[in-house]
Amino acid sequence: MALRIGRAFGKIPRGEHYDVAIIGGGPAGLSATIYTSRFLMKTIVIAEEIGGQLNLTDWVDDYPGLKKIQASALVRSFHSHAQMFHPTIIERVRVTRFERISDKEFKITGTRGLEIYAKAIIMAVGSKRRKLNVPGEKEFAGRGVSYCSVCDAPLYRGKDAVVVVGGGDAAFEGAILLSGYVKKVYLVHRRDQFRAKPFFVEEAKKIPNIEFILNSVVKEIKGDTQVRSVVIQNKLTGEVKELKVDGIFIEIGFEPPKEWYHELGLETDESGYIKVDEWMRTNIPGVFAAGDCTSMWPGFRQVVTASAMGAVAAYSAYNYLAEKGFYKPYRPESKK
């Protein structure tokens, strides 16, 4: 589903100077791009993949103004909107390092020979969700395999059954939410103890259409054009059974690259997310962060909140450059 941009396979900038470098091409990064470009800042977007976690889902029905839209179409819309202001956008490039080389600039290096300079940086790299890595998971991503119950629960209204995998707050919140949309929710957890808050556990136990399957793991996800069943194995007895379901929600947490952030000098919270204030400022002057990579609003990671953070980060970057006296309006020529 990822959007492929032809320019990503062309010449990678080396030695170019920009006002702001946006690292990441999901909703936060592209929203930031729209705003930095509108502020007439010379902007480059560096992304491993345009779309971010939107590439892991199929439909979006909770973005204001769009009643229901395919995630891939929303990615294209974000990208098209950003391109309207003529930033430089490169894909399939991973930033490996940035360092301050003067009071005015950072040097940014990455794969495929990337080497550029920027006066400000916006980190919008998202956070990769943990996966089960079982047969069928990749094949049915966005077609019955979901990693966000809050995002996708309404899409399963009236369905017969779904599986929720996990034992933390997100899994229990998801199971409780889904119980109002589907007839049966199976909550599968590899242990018989939970990391979730006791309140969530007790609430879930009171709901008659939530069934707990404990000490068990998912072995395979099956289907045709959509998920149709999930194979579960009991870790204690070895018993294997196949559940007929309409979808599976994998809520086993995130994997922020905490060590990388620390190598860059960024402060993180205990979970490994970049610490930001209300204006998306990090501990490094001139470096901002937005979206799922931040410590802002943990547990509620949505397209709309990521987009909002991207806009705020862009505004903060603009103010930073203006206050430092680095701001000079950049007006790229229109590209036909």
pLDDT score, position 6: 38
User: How many other CB atoms are there within 10 angstroms of residue 17's CB atom?
Assistant: 13
- Annotated active-site residue in 19, 58, 148, 293: 148
**H or E stretch covering 309:** helix 303-324
SS (H, E, C) 139-170: CCECCCEECCHHHHHHHHCCCCEEEEECCCHH
How many angstroms separate the CA atoms of 316 and 78, rounded?
Answer: 21
pLDDT score, position 9: 42
Q: At which residue do the structure tokens 């439909």 appear?
A: 59
| H helical segments located in 55-108 | 71-83
Annotation says 148 is catalytic: yes
- The answer to whether the predicted template modeling score (pTM) of the entire model surpasses 0.85 is no
SS3 270: coil
pLDDT score, position 301: 80
Q: At which residue do the structure tokens 């990693």 appear?
A: 147
- Candidates 3.40.47.10, 3.40.50.1970, 3.50.50.60, 3.40.190.10; CATH matching 6-129+254-324: 3.50.50.60
- Candidates 1.10.274.10, 3.40.50.300, 3.50.50.60, 3.40.50.10420; CATH matching 145-250: 3.50.50.60
pLDDT score, position 190: 95
Residues making up the chain, counted from first to last: 336
Residue 91 near residue 82 (C-beta atoms within 8 A) = no
- Annotated active-site residue in 19, 61, 62, 151: 151
DSSP 33-67: HHHHHHTT--EEEEESSBTGGGGG-SEE--BTTBS
Do 6-129+254-324 and 145-250 show the same overall fold?
Answer: yes
For 209-253, how does the pLDDT look when each residue is reduced to its tens digit (9 = 90+)?
999 999 999 999 999 999 999 999 999 999 999 999 999 999 998
For 116-154, how does the pLDDT look when each residue is reduced to its tens digit (9 = 90+)?
999 999 999 988 788 999 999 999 988 999 988 888 899
Report how far apart, in Å, the C-alpha atoms of 183 and of each of 156, 175, 192 are: 10, 12, 24
Annotation says 151 is catalytic: yes
Split the chain (336 residues) into runs of 10 and give each run's mean pLDDT: 42 92 96 96 94 78 86 90 93 95 96 96 90 94 89 92 94 95 97 92 96 97 96 97 97 88 96 96 98 88 93 98 92 63
How many angstroms separate the CA atoms of 187 and 185, rounded?
Answer: 6
Cross-strand pairs, 187: 164, 212
* Per-residue DSSP letter, 251: -
- Annotated active-site residue in 58, 152, 169, 246: 152
CB within 8 A of 198, min separation 6: which ones?
Answer: none
Q: Pairing state of beta strands 254-255 and 43-47?
A: unpaired
pLDDT score, position 300: 81
Domain regions of the chain by residue span: 6-129+254-324, 145-250
> What's the maximum distance between 2 C-alpha atoms anywhere in the chain?
68
Go through 146-183 and write b for each residue having 16 or more CB atoms within 10 A of its CB, e for each that does not. bbbbbbbbebbeeeebbbbbbbbbbbbbbbbbbbebbe
